[in-house]
């Protein structure tokens, strides 16, 4: 299969390394200098240092070169760049089936990726879908075992693409629940920031386990309210992704939480990370949607108060700990 990977961050580069062993892959970045550097040194020093880019991998800053003759495009830009990328694809006049791996809600509109796709690239519908799941880029680049969910409303499309991408080390499961897969991947980043804060404050493993569990309830409540399926939140794109990012030190959102617990400012944290931490930008959208649907989101509320209202991390956590007692499942 000929695959165009659009977005040369850590995740895009990791997929390019992994898939190049079995497919003809092009990696696109909109920055010509970035493309030249990767092409010359065969490594993405900015985002995935230490992992060589295969010689067979085509690297380009010209979108039409990446898309030309491609059987499939994987869009792995941050959610903030999804609409711009879709418009660029549409302007190229090249029509290609797409999958997106963006996690989050568009900050200005609180829309999920599939809604943006419907607005900007409806000509290929329904030959499109989302892929998500517990997947650190570095481990995918190393070829360590990873499992993802590929969701599309078109089961023939999802099964065909999943079969092509599937391998013993990159297992692909199919689903029809696009909304559930997207919301699980988006909201877990907010809960992960909270888990990082809890660990950074030294609250221990018991507190982290409780927070992840209660966080899963928030993901599920809002996900169901948006139209997702309960089973999805119990799977790879739900609890699986939540557990990985809330406990693994490779998680950027977890690192944000740990540094917030140290008292660092958000601007300093983002400068230090040098990468996008989607939970920071997603938190407000999650809370906004929860309020619109009258769904209680206490962990998200606490994270928003820390990120955007200047509330000290310890004070926000104390508010959570002192909430009224109630039944567990509601």
* DSSP-derived secondary structure for 20-59: TTTSEEEEE-S-HHHHHHHHHHSB-TTTSTT-BPPTT-EE
Rounded Cα–Cα distance for residues 291 and 295 (Å): 6
103 is catalytic: no
What is the phi-psi region of residue 295: left when phi exceeds 0, alpha when psi lies from -120 to 50, beta otherwise? Answer: beta
Nearest CA to 148 out of 128, 162, 127 is that of 162
Rounded Cα–Cα distance for residues 284 and 88 (Å): 27
CB contact set of 178 (below 8 Å; sequence gap of 6+): 114, 129, 130, 151, 152, 153
Rounded Cα–Cα distance for residues 252 and 193 (Å): 9
Q: What's the CA dihedral at 203, 205, 211, 217 to 10 degrees?
A: -170
Query: Of 188, 231, 264, 326, which is the active-site residue?
Result: 188
Q: What's the CA dihedral at 208, 257, 281, 129 to 10 degrees?
A: -50
Nearest CA to 104 out of 188, 177, 30 is that of 188
Evaluate whether 4 touches 72 at the Cβ level (below 8 Å).
yes
Rounded Cα–Cα distance for residues 104 and 58 (Å): 28
Which residue blocks in the chain are alpha helix, DSSP H? 10-19, 32-41, 63-67, 82-92, 113-120, 137-142, 155-165, 178-200, 204-226, 230-233, 241-247, 252-261, 266-273, 278-292, 298-308, 313-321
Rounded Cα–Cα distance for residues 164 and 70 (Å): 14
Active site residues per annotation? 188
């Amino acid at each position: 299969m000929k695959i165009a990977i659009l977005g040369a961050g850590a995740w895009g580069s990791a997929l390019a390394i992994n898939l190049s062993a079995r497919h003809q892959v092009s990696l696109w970045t909109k920055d010509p200098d970035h493309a030249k550097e990767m092409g010359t040194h065969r490594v993405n020093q900015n985002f995935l240092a230490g992992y060589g880019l295969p010689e067979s991998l085509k690297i380009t800053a010209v979108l039409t070169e990446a898309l030309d003759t491609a059987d499939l495009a994987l869009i792995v830009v941050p959610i903030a760049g999804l609409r711009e990328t879709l418009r660029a694809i549409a302007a190229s006049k090249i029509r290609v089936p797409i999958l997106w791996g963006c996690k989050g809600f568009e900050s200005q509109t609180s829309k999920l990726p599939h809604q943006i796709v419907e607005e900007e690239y409806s000509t290929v519908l329904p030959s499109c879908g989302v892929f998500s799941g517990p997947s650190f880029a570095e481990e995918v680049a190393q070829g360590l075992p990873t499992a993802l969910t590929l969701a599309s409303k078109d089961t023939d499309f999802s099964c065909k693409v999943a079969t092509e991408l599937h391998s013993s080390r990159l297992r692909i499961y199919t689903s029809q629940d696009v909304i559930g897969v997207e919301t699980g991947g988006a909201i877990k980043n907010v809960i992960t920031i909270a888990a990082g804060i809890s660990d950074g404050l030294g609250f221990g493993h018991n507190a982290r386990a409780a927070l992840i569990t209660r966080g899963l309830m928030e993901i599920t409540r809002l996900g169901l309210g948006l139209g997702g399926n309960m089973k999805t939140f119990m799977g790879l794109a739900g609890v699986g992704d939540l557990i990985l990012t809330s406990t693994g030190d490779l998680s950027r959102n977890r690192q944000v939480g740990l540094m917030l617990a140290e008292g660092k400012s958000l601007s300093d944290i983002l400068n230090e990370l040098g990468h996008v931490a989607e939970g920071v930008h997603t938190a407000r959208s999650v809370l906004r949607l929860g309020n619109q649907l009258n769904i209680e989101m206490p962990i998200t509320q606490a994270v928003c108060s820390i990120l955007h209202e200047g509330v000290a991390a310890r004070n926000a956590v104390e508010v959570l700990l002192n909430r009224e007692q109630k039944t567990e499942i509601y």
